[in-house]
């Protein structure tokens, strides 16, 4: 499945490579930085499990190829490692694990859909993202080494790994107000769970950024650049509805280096 999804994008990158000729400009770049993702509750599928997330931090890095049609307009394709997910710290809901569900059954009580406790929880999702972006840029003066640009377009995301990491110790409560504790006492929440099989393998969304590059030499063949932007996935990440529905999204800041091959576009 993953191989079939990669083929169209890889084909596009190969096509752009073929388009490179003696009078064309092709920029190859590498970049890395920080991703600040969060999970937003999707549509009407909201419950105590998929709401209340805040941003986490993770790495974002990749390689890119850019074909310049004119001095102003280019098309950029990239392959990036992108950190996604979110975190919750404090009083929050969770589904009863088997040992607590057994307690309710022994007491001839109905197992509640949610229990509550004070602990830390982090959804660590990592994607291979393949954006294809339309890019427009301007030199900041005829002789200026600085160039400003904006880029936007769709991305294909492929889930690489997904873990739910929890930690802390807390009394477990029956209610969201924290007024009905269970008699079992404090419970440990130190656990890492692989949740990849609960999530969809593929995502699709929008990606964009603004950037500023600096030419290291007069020929403008080598550049350093800084970029700030973000991405948002249109598809709900969960396969089922038991844990609600969420969409991924992240703010991203990176620095990078690019090298130009071919003649510089004049107009």
Structure confidence at residue 35 (pLDDT): 98
pLDDT for position 215: 93
* pTM: predicted TM-score of the whole model, two decimal places: 0.85
Q: What band does 79 get if pLDDT is binned at 50, 70 and 90?
A: very high
pLDDT digits (tens, 9 = 90+) for 39-48: 998 766 788 9
Name the more confident of 218 and 9.
Answer: 218
Find the largest Cα–Cα distance for the chain. Answer: 81
For residue 237, give every residue at least 6 positions away whose Cβ sits within 8 Å of its Cβ, in sequence order, or none: 39, 125, 159, 199, 200, 203, 245, 246, 247, 248
| Domain at 2-262: CATH architecture | Beta Barrel (2.40)
SS3 percent helix, strand, coil of the chain, rounded to 5, is: 10, 60, 30
pLDDT in tens, 129-147: 999 999 999 999 888 999 9
Q: Give CA torsion, residues 83, 84, 90, 91, to 10 deg.
A: -150
Mean pLDDT value across residues 58-70: 95
**Average pLDDT of span 12-24:** 50
- List CB contacts of 18: < 8 A, sequence separation 6 or more: none
> What are 168-188's pLDDT values in tens digits?
999 999 999 999 999 878 999
To the nearest 10°, report the CA torsion of 165, 34, 89, 99. Answer: -10
Element (H, E) at 250: strand 246-262
Reported as half-sphere exposure (CB side, CA atoms, 13 A), residue 108 has a value of 0
* Domains in the chain: boundaries: 2-262
Classify 72 in phi/psi space as left (phi over 0), alpha (psi -120 to 50) or beta: alpha
Region 222-241: what's the mean pLDDT?
94
What percent of the chain is predicted at pLDDT more than 70? 87
pLDDT of 232 reads: 97
């Amino acid at each position: 499945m993953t191989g079939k999804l990669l083929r169209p994008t890889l084909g596009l990158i190969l096509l752009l490579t073929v388009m490179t000729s003696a009078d064309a400009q092709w920029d190859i770049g590498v970049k890395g930085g920080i991703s600040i993702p969060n999970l937003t509750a999707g549509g009407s599928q909201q419950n105590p499990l998929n709401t209340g997330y805040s941003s986490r931090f993770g790495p974002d890095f990749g390689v890119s190829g850019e074909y310049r049609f004119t001095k102003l307009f280019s098309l950029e394709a990239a392959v990036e490692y992108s950190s996604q997910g979110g975190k919750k710290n404090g009083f929050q809901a969770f589904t009863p694990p088997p040992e607590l569900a057994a307690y309710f059954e022994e007491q001839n009580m109905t197992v509640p859909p949610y229990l509550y406790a004070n602990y830390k929880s982090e959804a660590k999702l990592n994607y291979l993202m393949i954006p294809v972006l339309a890019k427009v840029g301007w030199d900041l003066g005829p002789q200026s080494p600085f160039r400003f640009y904006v880029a936007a377009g769709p991305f294909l995301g492929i889930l690489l790994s997904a873990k739910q990491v929890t930690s802390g110790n807390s009394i477990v409560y029956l209610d969201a107000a924290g007024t009905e504790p269970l008699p079992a006492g404090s419970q440990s929440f130190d656990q890492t769970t692989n949740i990849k099989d609960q999530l969809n393998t593929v995502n699709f969304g929008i990606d964009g950024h603004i950037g500023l590059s600096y030419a290291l030499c007069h020929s403008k063949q080598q550049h350093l650049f800084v970029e700030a932007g973000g991405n948002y996935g249109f598809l709900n990440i969960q396969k089922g509805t038991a844990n609600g529905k969420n969409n991924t999204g992240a703010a991203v800041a990176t620095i990078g280096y690019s090298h130009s091959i071919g003649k510089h576009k004049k107009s």
